[in-house]
């Protein structure tokens, strides 16, 4: 009997303590929910992301059969490394002919220069003869009135002067014709320039036969062999650009207000789950293609119904991967998990200026 009052007194205390514990649990749950929600929006995260790189199709500038193929599929190539060779023999033949034409053109130019000098010398000779005949006419014309010479002598002297002037005009025309044939414009000779251009073009075509890697890359989807005919401007193989790798991460539209260019990003790849990669946000996509509202024959197409549950759209965010590790090479299409970490250090100052 004496223990009944104490048991009755402890009952309310237990109920009060239980209520306090329950209240604390609810408050803690609310606080954790608020904290998690805050982190959820301050540090957006998505696993709808994939590693990407630029893929460049390589096409020759000239046509012909492939005579050498020193690379194989998935090979890493350095800038300037030989990819394949188009048969250069026809183009070397054109180059030889163009070089021969250039040599002949130089000989023709020399001959035309000699012709110009000869025409100028002929004109100078005729000018000297004309000057002598004019001087002779000037001497005998006053003697006609004094009957020291005949009218026929004066007439013959005047005829020689007119003939000399006509010959000088013809010599000047010959000089101009020779100068025009030479094709000299200032310091440039048009004949030689055209021949040199033909040689340069032929050399380019010979060089184009040797197709080289334009940048650090990986050969991919190689489906050609020696003997296959390569057409000018038609893609022969593809290169995965190893200079810049990035992640295309699709974030829900309610996260976009918390994503800015220049923000730091933590990236994890499923192929290397325990290795963290660093990245930086390059930009956020501005547009999405939608069936609802797409333009059809100039008119917008709008669906007549509206679902009660509206799903958030996902916009692509491009993230440039930094400091690649050769021990963990990137592969295009690899699945990634990214978390936006916001601005750090100097990036924060730069980001606030935006």
Q: Could you read off the pLDDT of 315-346 as tens digits, one per residue?
A: 999 999 998 888 999 999 999 999 999 886 54
Q: How far is CA 68 from CA 60, 196, 283, in A?
A: 14, 30, 42
In 35-80, DSSP assigns E strands to 45-58, 64-68, 76-77
**Whole-prediction pTM:** 0.68
Domain 43-54+239-353 has CATH 2.60.40.10: no
pLDDT at residue 61, rounded to an integer = 94
Answer for the pair 221, 72: CB distance below 8 angstroms, yes or no: no
| Nearest CA among 129, 128, 125, 149 for reference residue 139 | 149
Q: What is the pLDDT of residue 174?
A: 76
State the pairing for strand pair 184-185/188-189. antiparallel
pLDDT at 346: 46
pLDDT of 103: 93
Spatial CA neighbour of 211 closest among 67, 51, 341, 86: 86
Chain-centroid distance of CA 345 in Å reads 34
Cβ neighbourhood burial of 227 (10 Å; 0-12, 13-18, 19+): exposed
Let me know: does 220 contact 240? Beta carbons within 8 Å. Answer: yes
Query: Distance (Å, rounded) from C-alpha 286 to C-alpha 255?
Result: 14
60-86+209-234 is classed in which CATH architecture?
Beta Barrel (2.40)
Q: Provide the pLDDT for residue 299.
A: 67
**Residue 242 contacts residue 95 (beta carbons within 8 Å):** no
Which residues of the chain register pLDDT less than 50? 1, 346-354
Q: What is the pLDDT of residue 36?
A: 60
- Hey, how many other C-beta atoms are within 10 angstroms of the C-beta on 325? 10
């Amino acid at each position: 009997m004496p223990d009944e009052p104490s048991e009755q007194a402890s009952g309310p205390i237990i109920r009060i303590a239980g209520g306090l514990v329950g209240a604390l649990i609810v408050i803690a749950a609310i606080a954790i929910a608020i904290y998690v929600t805050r982190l959820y929006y301050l540090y957006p995260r998505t696993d709808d992301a994939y590693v990407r790189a630029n893929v460049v199709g390589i096409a020759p500038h000239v046509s012909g059969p492939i005579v050498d193929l020193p690379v194989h599929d998935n090979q890493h190539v350095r800038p300037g490394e030989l990819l394949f060779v188009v048969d250069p023999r026809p183009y070397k033949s054109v180059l030889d002919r163009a070089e021969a034409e250039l040599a002949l053109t130089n000989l023709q130019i020399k001959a035309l220069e000699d012709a110009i000098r000869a025409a100028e010398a002929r004109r100078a000779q005729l000018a000297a003869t004309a000057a002598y005949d004019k001087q002779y006419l000037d001497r005998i014309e006053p003697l006609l009135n004094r009957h020291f010479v005949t009218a026929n002598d004066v007439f013959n002297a005047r005829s020689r002067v007119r003939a000399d002037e006509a010959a000088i005009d013809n010599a000047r025309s010959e000089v101009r014709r020779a100068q025009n044939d030479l094709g000299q414009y200032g310091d440039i000779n048009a004949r030689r320039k055209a021949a040199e251009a033909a040689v340069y073009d032929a050399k380019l075509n010979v060089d184009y036969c040797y197709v080289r890697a334009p940048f650090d890359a990986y050969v991919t989807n190689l489906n050609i062999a020696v003997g296959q005919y390569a057409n000018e401007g038609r893609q022969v193989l593809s290169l995965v650009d190893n200079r810049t790798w990035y992640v295309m991460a699709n974030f829900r539209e309610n996260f976009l207000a918390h994503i800015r260019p220049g923000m730091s990003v933590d990236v994890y790849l499923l192929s290397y789950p325990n290795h963290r990669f660093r990245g930086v946000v390059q930009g956020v996509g501005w547009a999405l293609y939608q069936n609802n509202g797409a333009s059809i024959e100039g008119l917008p197409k709008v669906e007549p119904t509206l679902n009660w549950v509206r799903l958030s759209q996902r916009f692509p965010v491009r993230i440039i991967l930094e400091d690649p590790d050769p021990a963990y090479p990137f592969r295009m299409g690899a699945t990634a998990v990214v978390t936006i970490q916001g601005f750090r250090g100097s990036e924060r100052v730069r980001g606030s200026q935006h």
